[in-house]
Amino acid sequence: MRTQVVIVGAGPAGTLLSLLLGDAGIDNVVLERQSRDYVLSRVRAGVLESGTVEILRRAGVGERMDREGHVHDTVNIAWRGSELLSVDTVDRVGKRMMAYGQTAIQEDLYAALDDRGRPPVFEAADVELNGLTTDRPWVTYTGPDGSTERIDCDHICGCDGFHGVARQSIPAEERTEYGKEYPFGWLGILSETPPLPILLYANHTDGFALCSMRTPMLSRYYVQCPLTDAVEDWPDDRFWSELLGRLPPSQAERIVTGPSIEKSNAPLRSFVAEPMRYGNLFLAGDAAHIVPPTGAKGLNLAVSDVHYLSQALIERFGSGSTTALDDYGPLALRRVWGAVRFSWWLTSLLHRFPDQTPFDQRAQEQELTYLSSSPAAQTALAEQYVGLPL
């Protein structure tokens, strides 16, 4: 079989890219290792930058998001027990965020591809990338029925996440990796309870906490936990009591508790692989970079990578010019490093580190005091939280 672009991974990056390329008349095939149900069962991101919202609308998958998403005008930080800093992003930088879950975005993207008769190939095992530095690369895989398949193409896009095959297909001596692991994780739950109307981050001596939402009857909460903790260590009662204890009493009393319907833990890491291109292979999204979730940037970066990459491929197949493809990696990386730095900074500001000294503690409190009193600092936070321009 032959196509113009093979896309590895049917997460948000791979499926949005497929939609944008297909609608521009570029033939493509998406290969996904997991089943559709498995991908849709993963609970992940929840907060979209205004640029992401625009890109999804332009791709024709904004209708349900605009109907069901919850617009946020503020980002709120609780600290020192009862202090509450509220930064109005509309006042500061004229933009707002949208709370709309990654699972819903993924459903919308699959539905759009189904409507066009171009669904991904699910349960594609043993994906291997070949001939990456030639004009005729090819991909082999084992189909769901056990058959061995081969697809020849012009370009391969690696949208297969942090643990995928694409980045690993670039010879080690051709890539530089920058990484940082944090000494804690996040324990997250979904509960069918009404969420707080605001997005609330908390810095507390017992550790970080976050209150977010999915729908008017679906809440998403996180607490910082040791990396060694398992989900079983966090029965619902313990989770709620830790969460409420880390929030200011004025907010804690507004939280409606209830049984969790999903519970998972995630380590926190920062990671960037450069360059984002090797021959005719292009990386996008978590395949090339990871940020700790504190800044709500991972999905947003996947979408901005795909925005740049789709435009470059459309130019390449339209006018034949490869200039935009040559510029893709450096252009995407400028935005990636902006989000990597912001996510690292917000993570450092809001979490309790195991080796935190009284000096570190006072310095962290001073930064929050400064943020609370400085309009300039709040503008810098708002500008980065709603997303740097594309």
* Catalytic residue set: 72, 201, 293, 297, 385
Contact 166, 129 (CB under 8 A): yes
C-beta of 49 vs 305, nearer to ligand DHB: 49
Choosing from 159, 273, 331, 368, the residue that interacts with ligand FAD (CB under 6 A) is 159
CA distance 384 to 172: 32
Instruction: Residue 125: count other Cβ atoms within 10 Å of its Cβ.
Output: 11
From 83-91, 108-116, 203-211, 297-305, span contacting ligand FAD (CB under 6 A): 297-305
> Of these partners, ligand DHB, ligand FAD, none, which one is at the site of residue 294 (CB under 5 to 8 Å by kind)?
ligand DHB
**Amino acid making up residue 323:** T
Tell the smallest beta-carbon distance from residue 196 to ligand FAD (Å): 15
Tell the smallest beta-carbon distance from residue 103 to ligand DHB (Å): 10
CA distance 100 to 79: 26
Choosing from 12, 51, 185, 195, the residue that interacts with ligand FAD (CB under 6 A) is 12
Q: Of 66, 85, 87, 278, nearest to 171 (Cα)?
A: 278
Q: What is the torsion angle, in degrees rounded to the nearest 10, for the CA atoms of residue 354, residue 355, residue 359 and residue 362? A: -10
Q: Which residues of 312-332 are buried (b: 16+ CB within 10 A; e: fewer)?
A: bbbebbeeeeeebbeebbebb
Number of residues that bind ligand FAD (CB under 6 A): 37
Q: Distance of alpha carbon 236 from its chain centroid, rounded?
A: 26
45 lines the binding site for ligand DHB (CB under 6 A): yes
C-beta of 69 vs 120, nearer to ligand DHB: 69
| Binders in 250-309 for ligand DHB, by CB under 6 A | 293-294, 296
12 lines the binding site for ligand DHB (CB under 6 A): no
CA distance 309 to 306: 5
C-beta of 80 vs 118, nearer to ligand FAD: 118
Tell the smallest beta-carbon distance from residue 76 to ligand DHB (Å): 10
158 lines the binding site for ligand FAD (CB under 6 A): no
Bridge partners for 267 per DSSP: 185
> Of these partners, ligand DHB, ligand FAD, none, which one is at the site of residue 220 (CB under 5 to 8 Å by kind)?
ligand DHB
Cis amide linkage into residue 275, ω under 30° from 0? yes
292 lines the binding site for ligand FAD (CB under 6 A): no
Residues 6+ apart with CB under 8 A from 172: none
**Amino acid making up residue 277:** R
Contact 137, 280 (CB under 8 A): yes
C-beta of 170 vs 210, nearer to ligand DHB: 210
C-beta of 85 vs 306, nearer to ligand FAD: 306
Contact 303, 347 (CB under 8 A): no
Contacts with ligand DHB, residue ranges (CB under 6 A): 45-47, 199, 210, 212, 220, 293-294, 296
Sites of contact with ligand FAD (CB under 6 A): 8-14, 31-34, 39, 44-47, 102, 124, 127, 159-161, 163-165, 186, 188, 266, 285-286, 293, 296-300, 302
